Amino acid sequence: MELVRGLLCLWLTSCCSATHLVGTWHTSDFFLFLSKFGVQKTDLHYEKDTLGYIFGNVTSRVPTKRHVTLTVLDKNFFLEYYTNRSLLDKDKACSRMFSKVSSVAYHPVCYADGIDLFRTVPCAANQICPDEVYPWNVVKHSQFTFAIKDLSVPRFWYVSLVACYRNETTCEWHHMPQDTILDYDIWLVNGNPNSSAYNPLVYQFSFDRQNTVELYLVFFGVYLILVPLQLYAVSRQRHPVTRLFTASLIMEFLSLAFNLVDVLKFTIDGVGYPKLAVTGDIFDILSRTIFMLLLLLLAKGLAVTRQEFTWKPLLFLIWLMYGVVHILLYVWNKTEVDIIEDIDEYQTWPGGSFSA
């Protein structure tokens, strides 16, 4: 029951790694993690077209002089920043969160030669943010733009909002305690948003998910041929082996179909269908679980020379444990793995043991 409840909660609250972020934030919540986005390696021959861009709007519903900070940090700076967010004394939290990054980050008063990592928000409606580093570079209809260049390797960047502001007299960081409601509309892309020649198969995607559309299309095409052939085969030979294999094949076909629809929509709006993607993952797990049962039965010779299954408690217990652990690892990976980790369920000791 707990397992079913966990999957249901995951489906209801699912959100993919969207690259178009729209929402509302109360600054009284202090911290909001928005997204982890992989910026591709910059090609100097086509520099502007291969940069990573983070742009959009963060506004308040009513005019206000209370300001907080939008941050775009790589892992080197994000670790300390993210770890210190949980301190109970929020003034101290702000000071510690920004202690390392403030030494390199641009600020028009405190450090004019720094790297572009912050924006003071909210920005006035229909106006560019006052601390925008390159106002002429701001994407049309946006208030701010970060242009990210990674010359050596692709890197993950972490986008967040935090209720901290910098005193321009002392250059110290402080907590902004009053509650303000902010509306944000932010895009994260690989490629020039001002160009109409960007590649839609990579533009909306974090570098670790680029070209997944082609993969899903290829495998969907393969299964589109295999499934009808297998259905024809099972209609002529009603054997337990062919039935199990057909069920596994159909489940995987449904998984590919759901995930393909998700990534195709993702290329258009940067959001996709998160719940459809989770449904596709569940069908993939079911397909693997059924296929594992088939392998176990074949290994024991139970479905080769007989037309019916023989009940073997130990064998079916092993199969049941396989399915349960598979689902638990999936739920754990989606809900418990920290956002700063670059791992999946198979890059841990329980996942490695399980796959072995």
pLDDT at 2 > cutoff 90: no
Q: Which two tokens stand for residue 9?
A: 């909660």
The answer to whether 33 and 160 have CB atoms below 8 angstroms apart is yes
Element (H, E) at 243: helix 240-269
Top-confidence residue, 265 or 133: 265
What are the tens digits of pLDDT across the range 271-297? 999 999 999 999 999 999 999 988 888
Q: What mean pLDDT, rounded, does the chain reach?
A: 86
pLDDT attached to residue 19: 86
pTM of the model: 0.85
DSSP assignment, residue 103?
G
Domain boundaries, the chain: 20-203, 208-355
Nearest CA to 146 out of 124, 129, 163 is that of 129
pLDDT attached to residue 276: 94
Cβ neighbours of residue 336 under 8 Å, at least 6 residues apart?
A: none
Residue 346: pLDDT band (50, 70, 90) is low
Phi-psi region of 53 (alpha: psi -120 to 50; beta: other; left: phi over 0): beta
Give the phi and the psi of residue 183 in degrees, each rounded to 5. -110, 130
Q: How far apart are CA 5 and CA 12, in angstroms?
A: 10
pLDDT attached to residue 80: 93
